[in-house]
Every structure is written in structure tokens, then in C-alpha cells.
Amino acid sequence: MSTFVLSLHTGIADHDGLQRLSRFAHATVNSGHQVECIFLYQDGVSHASPYLQQPSDELDVKATWQALADLGIPLMLCVTAAQKRAIDISHESVFTVAGLAEFAMLSAKADKWVQFK
């Protein structure tokens, strides 16, 4: 069994990045591997905005993240990137606020780090 750390760097407008990450994470878990965390970094922090309003004909971003959380994957939000982009980190959500040091430690222990850009 391998361990993975995933990171998403693209903003909310890039549905393809989130869909690729979601498919990869589901396939990884379904294959018996472990995803230690998914880390939202750079413009990826926009996925955690509590004010996100998506049209009904677009990808349901909140449902996608909830499905990943339901797999037991910790979802982490870079505090510095969020603050730079005025993302409210005080609300309750599926994301946990974390720093780059925590992400670096998890990445160092994992077998693979996969970035979605």
C-alpha cells in the first residue's frame, strides 16, 4: 500500500483540475492506497470560499469536496494563501486550516506527492 499527498493549485473556474483530482483520489482509495491529505494551495484555496455560488449546470464543487471528505481524506487549506486571497477561514466546513510546514511534513512522509495544476 502506498501513501499519497495531493495538492490542488488551480482556482474554482478550473473544473477540470478538481475533477481530475477527485477521480485520482477515488481511484487511489479504491485501489487500497492511502491519501494522507489534499492540500489547497495558491488559487486552489478559492474552493473553500463559504460564499461560493455555482450555477446549477456546472460542477457541484461543494458536493465534490464533501464526497472526498466522506472517503476519510483530510482536506487542508493553506492559511497564508487563503488570507492573501481574502478567503474567510473562520467558517465551519470540510476544510481544516493548515500551514506549509504541516503540508511539508506530510509530503516528506508520503510515498508520492501529486500536484494538480
> What is the domain count for the chain?
1
Answer yes or no: is pLDDT of 92 > 80. Answer: no
For the record, the C-alpha cell of 8 comes out as 490542488
For the record, the C-alpha cell of 56 comes out as 446549477
Answer yes or no: is pLDDT of 32 > 90. Answer: yes
Task: Residue 44: give the domain boundaries.
Answer: 3-116
Cα gap 51→37, rounded to integer Å: 24
Q: Hey, is 111 helix, strand or coil?
A: coil
Q: What is the pLDDT of residue 104?
A: 96
Q: What is the pLDDT of residue 63?
A: 94
In the residue annotation, 37 being an active-site residue is answered as no
Tell me the CATH number at 59.
3.40.1260.10
From 25, 45, 78, 110, the catalytic residue: 78
Mind listing the pLDDT tens digit for each residue in 35-56? 999 999 999 999 999 888 878 8
According to DSSP, residue 43 is labeled G
According to DSSP, residue 110 is labeled S
pTM: predicted TM-score of the whole model, two decimal places: 0.94
For the record, the C-alpha cell of 35 comes out as 491519501
Q: What is the pLDDT of residue 91?
A: 80
